[in-house]
Amino acid sequence: MNSFTHLNADGNPAMVDVGAKTVTRRTARAQAIVTLGPAIMQHLNGADIATKKGPVFQTAIIAGTMAAKRTDDLIPLCHSLGLDNCQITITTDGDDAIVSCLVSTEGKTGVEMEALVGASVAALTIYDMCKAFSHDIIIKETKLMEKTGGKRDFHRE
């Protein structure tokens, strides 16, 4: 039977004790899709969109990486993790920007939240930098695509 892991015996919020867990290689990849629409995509030049604030996708990659490294500051019960790697890629498909965040570490707990935060903040940065062109931007389908390490692996089809 599954139960919520971040509750103590009294039903109060608690950080999960990972002290007895084995250190293993942990990876996670998350994805967020940002629908920008034709008004914004017409500004795509090569692999990025240039704005007065700077290159949109390059800035989003930096912001997402910084956020992934600070996940424990944003989500109260997440463990502090030293990430071995964080790679964010942004591709386009029609009017969509597809943000992918791949994170890895050697540790006692997974990096799913770090990957999700990295993809989310990169998507929010794209929104912030493009809103001057249009507010008709939709951030959708932020989801975990895969994780390895720990009790079980997960792969989304």
Q: Closest by alpha carbon to 109, among 31, 16, 30, 3?
A: 16
CA distance 82 to 35: 32
Give the pLDDT of residue 12. Answer: 73
Q: Looking at per-residue confidence, does 98 or 4 come out higher? A: 98
For the stretch 47-84, pLDDT in tens is: 999 888 899 999 999 999 999 999 999 998 888 899 99
Annotation says 128 is catalytic: yes
CA distance 2 to 5: 9
CA distance 30 to 115: 5
User: Model confidence at 3, in pLDDT bands (50, 70, 90)?
Assistant: low
What is the model's pTM? 0.91
User: Model confidence at 144, in pLDDT bands (50, 70, 90)?
Assistant: very high
Catalytic residue selected from 73, 93, 128, 136: 128
Give the pLDDT of residue 150. Answer: 84
Over range 73-101, report the average pLDDT. 95
Helices (H), the chain: 38-41, 56-69, 71-74, 112-130
CA distance 43 to 61: 18
